Amino acid sequence: MGKWLKTQEFIGFEIKDKIAYITLNRPEKRNALSPELIKEVHDAMLEADDLVEVHAIVLQGAGQDFCAGYDLGYGYNPANQGDTSGKYRTRMGSMDDDVWTMTRKMHQMLIIPDIHKTVIAKVHGRALAGGAEMALACDIIIMGDEALIGHPGVRGLGSPPINFWFYHVGPQWAKRLLLTGDRLRGKDAARIGLVMDSVPEAELDAEVHSLAKRIALLDPEISAAQKRVVNIAMELAGARTLQKLATEIDARAHLSKGPAKQAWKANVTAHGVRKAIKLRDADYAEGDVVRIRAFEDER
């Protein structure tokens, strides 16, 4: 383990069977993505990529969820907006200021596709909003059957600044999910290709470890070649360019003066972020979890 990793506050880092396990470790906040947590994940990915004894990486969450999303208390707390250091400055200033902040914070997650080693996201509980963004940046995603993935933040807040939805499911499902913020269970996410596979929750740990061990059999130089060729294919379809544009589009969406956005701002001021989220999602409650009708007979 790298010396600096011993002082990390918000992640766990363990090596087993040539696999580096990087664990989001803010269970009391459902592993919500603070700037510090994102930075620690970024640095841990680089460390795991550098260590010769590591052949594969698993990204997972401690507690009841993989990751419930971005820690909105940072960007939307009015008390943080006067901070000129940029630690909290986001979504309240100019469009350029917003892009600056997101590029330097959220874009640290793009180290996941950039590193040479394969990263498997092990998703239990919920992978929502920024948590879904982080999972979808990974090379392979395996979910628990009843785990949930989606981006409810699109309901009046903006568009995902890390945006790989199209590359997993194509235009129609990407639009279906981003136009509603609805969630999918793991078993249905696997059926449409948003994630590679889902298994019963009791089998998730063993399934992910088994696949990671199988990948770790390959020399890292060869596995890096396989990852890179697929990523280049995605880049030929504009995947990395889209990430730059997605951040600017998100910043533009933050400037919306429509009723949903204004209601959100008013509710945050009046009630705080947690209550504002409940009020935002109230009209979406029915049908919030998408069921894939083509597979209803199997259930």
Phi-psi region of 34 (alpha: psi -120 to 50; beta: other; left: phi over 0): beta
Question: In the predicted model, what is the mean pLDDT of residues 271-296?
Answer: 86
Beta strands at 289-290 and 56-61: parallel, antiparallel or unpaired = unpaired
Residue located via tokens 């948590």:
131
Dihedral of alpha carbons 8, 12, 15, 19, sign: negative
- pLDDT above 90 coverage of the chain, percent: 74
Q: What is the pLDDT of residue 4?
A: 45
What's the DSSP call for residue 270? H
What's the DSSP call for residue 277? H
Backbone φ, ψ for residue 111 (5° rounding)? -65, -25
Q: What is the pLDDT of residue 82?
A: 54
Question: Which tops the pLDDT comparison, 96 or 118?
Answer: 118
Helices (H), the chain: 35-50, 72-76, 95-105, 111-114, 130-136, 165-178, 186-191, 204-216, 220-236, 239-254, 259-271, 273-281
pLDDT category of residue 297 using cuts at 50, 70 and 90: low
Please give the model's pTM, rounded to 2 decimal places.
0.91
pLDDT category of residue 88 using cuts at 50, 70 and 90: low
- pLDDT above 70 coverage of the chain, percent: 89
Q: Is the pLDDT of residue 144 over 60?
A: yes
Question: In the predicted model, what is the mean pLDDT of residues 19-24?
Answer: 97
Q: What is the pLDDT of residue 85?
A: 58
pLDDT tens per residue, range 154-207: 998 899 999 999 999 999 999 999 999 999 999 999 999 999 999 999 999 999
AA identity, residue 125: G
Q: Determine the straight-line distance between the first and last CA of the chain, rounded to whole angstroms.
A: 45
Q: What is the pLDDT of residue 80?
A: 56
Q: Please give the Cα distance from 3 to 244 (Å, whole number).
A: 33
Q: What is the pLDDT of residue 83?
A: 57
Q: Please give the Cα distance from 143 to 160 (Å, whole number).
A: 21
Q: What is the pLDDT of residue 148?
A: 98
Residue located via tokens 């279906």:
176
Contact 133, 163 (CB under 8 A): yes
The structural domains of the chain, ordered by start, are 3-255+288-298 (3.90.226.10)
Contact 21, 14 (CB under 8 A): yes
Q: Is the pLDDT of residue 1 over 80?
A: no
**Rounded mean pLDDT of the chain?**
90
Contact 31, 90 (CB under 8 A): no
pLDDT category of residue 274 using cuts at 50, 70 and 90: confident
Q: Give whichever of 66-75, 89-98, 190-199 has the largest mean pLDDT.
A: 190-199
pLDDT tens per residue, range 32-61: 999 999 999 999 999 999 999 999 999 999
